[in-house]
Structure 1
């Protein structure tokens, strides 16, 4: 059918300004006191195990089924507190020595606030480990980050996280910190920060402090998801806005250094409920949700045409690894990382 979306639009409303503050200083102080580790080392001691083709409820009536999918463990399937949102991969980074997916989760608290976390999952072993993302002050104190984290993207050692009303937060994986190197235990599982001479992170072994930020230059645009187009000569950062019942959500592409803060181009997507977007070899792929019980759709804009492909229930952010398009699903007992052909 004729393409009804991806209409070019004014890119200036989506400009970003750098807002580093003292984030890097706080992260560096923590790194000096705790000690950094690597993603490879984290995966070697990962404490959770996913299931190959587990949680089949996430697939719903999708036919054909995904080429591959990996389910989180029973505890992470069943929790009503944490919801997967963003997805990126080791190929996006180009610096990580083993295949890996990285998924973000936001905390939907019954009581209190525990911020956002990321899961590092090996598609080879299905072992995975959570790490808490934190914001550190110049004195080395730190606290959880209360945002939705609807999308994430890796480039080099930098992890970009969508901050809905504000823009992008940046975390340097050179500051992936292992609390085990600083103390014998993981502290009080109900606390976070420095207390009683110890580091606490709600019982998590690993934390990653924020090192940088890019804030919207003018109020209005929402940053709902993030991805990276690595298909061209120069990789580009992509981000865009989810709108519930409005086809006017935008998507834009930046140079990775975000020089000047203004995107290279911007488009109106023409579809509501878009949870993730990526361009690849001149084609746009949009992940469209349909609630917790109905299958979503993959909308493919290519050569002026719109194709609709089946997708699992609750699809979110998008990334490309191993020649496949990958996403993550969010709903209870339907939480999987899945891949389909491009």
Structure 2
């Protein structure tokens, strides 16, 4: 392996034959052994909450964005764009950014609901014993990328409690998110993929930071946040045959010949880390067989440990790789074509790179970095 200087990013592909890291063979299990069984939310429960709570749109949410980021230069090779969060979000140890997706994922065009938009997921670390709020999403208006305005929204799982419709926090790592149509997919590491409906984006009370869901007086609270986004389904993951279940660490939209979700897992061992593709049906949900179960239609083992995100770009996969060597300054980018050795560029991403999202019309890959004080949201031009 080698370090690719940022000034020599275009030389990465030419050095493919020199790479010492070899891809490991794919797991013997068939892709169809990776199963996802839908569990849909109770329609009457969603209807009751829709009736009780004001529903809003993404554009209206962004009209009321209450935070502003600022331009900054992310330490990224082939940098195309970048911004930083406001001071509080950039420094907090209580929330960790993870997944990234954009309106280009959602629609295949630059905008959704008339806006070029990004969504970034954060999980609550409950640092210092604070109440665990679960997962928040930053909806970012990219109209002015030098001063992006954004607003946080909490994820909510609708439930019946004592005969009343309410909701609970969604306590997952949210290592990856993927926006497709009016749905947001969020990986739940050991359980499957959760689905949230942007047609159930509810305004709630923000005056009681310690309260969430329906209160005794019939009002609804969001632990200090004014909006929650409702879960509408869960695709429960299991595996058959000899296939181990996926450790669902990240996800992205793959707009290849057939639209699909690209799923990936973080692993310390290169041979244990797989990518799997879950095809989508015309309604934007995972395509189910006659038995009502959705199945992967492709699975690969790139031979890379500690991957944090991946996207499909043409005939290749791009993966972000976290650096376990404390002496290094940045994260790694791997370019991998099935059947070939991965090509790795060292220190070409910020420290703590997270998941990827590809914007085809601009040929850009968006990502975010995690460490407090070194948090960038950035786009780069992918190497060939």
Provide the aligned C-alpha RMSD in A: 2.0
Mapped pair 1:329 → 2:329: no
**1:167 alignment counterpart:** 192
The alignment status of 1:97 with 2:147, answered yes or no, reads no
Which of 311, 316, 321 lines up with 1:278 in the alignment? 311
> Partners of 1:98 and 1:13 in 2: how far apart?
39
Aligned residues between the structures: 329
Q: 1:246 to 1:202 in 2, by over 3 A?
A: same
Alignment partner, residue 4 of structure 2? none
Provide, for residues 222-278 of structure 1, a one-character-per-residue CA deviation record: whole Å limited to 9, x for no partner.
111010112x23211111110134442111011123223111100112111100111
Q: Which residue of 2 aligns with 1:236?
A: 260
1:157-177 C-alpha deviation (Å, 9 max, x unpaired): 010000000010000001111
d(CA) in 2 for partners of 1:68, 1:288:
20
For 1:204-219, what aligned pairs fall within 5 Å after superposition? 204-218=225-239
Match of 2:85 among 39, 51, 72: 72
Matches within 5 A, 1:1-342: 1-2=16-17, 4-5=22-23, 7-9=25-27, 10=29, 11-22=31-42, 24-53=43-72, 59=75, 62=76, 64=77, 66-94=79-107, 95-109=112-126, 110-111=128-129, 112-125=131-144, 126-138=148-160, 139-179=164-204, 186-195=206-215, 196-218=217-239, 220-230=245-255, 232-256=256-280, 257-258=285-286, 259-260=288-289, 261-290=294-323, 294-302=329-337, 304-309=340-345, 310-321=348-359, 322-342=362-382
What residue ranges of structure 2 are gaps of 5+ in the alignment? 1-15
> Structure 1 regions of 5+ residues with no counterpart?
180-184
Offset, 1:217 = 2.1
Structure 1 segments, 4+ long, off by >4 Å, are: none
Query: 1:234, 1:243 → 2: CA distance?
Result: 28
C-alpha displacement of 1:150: 0.4
The structure-2 alpha-carbon separation of the partners of 1:208 and 1:25, relative to structure 1 and needing over 3 Å to count, comes to farther
**How big is the shift at 1:7?**
4.2
Find the aligned partners of 1:6 and 1:43 in 2 and give their Cα distance. 45
Which entry has the higher C-alpha Rg, 1 or 2?
2
Contact 2:32 2:297 survives alignment (8 Å): no
Structure 1's 161 and 341: CA in aligned 2 closer, same or farther, altered over 3 A?
same
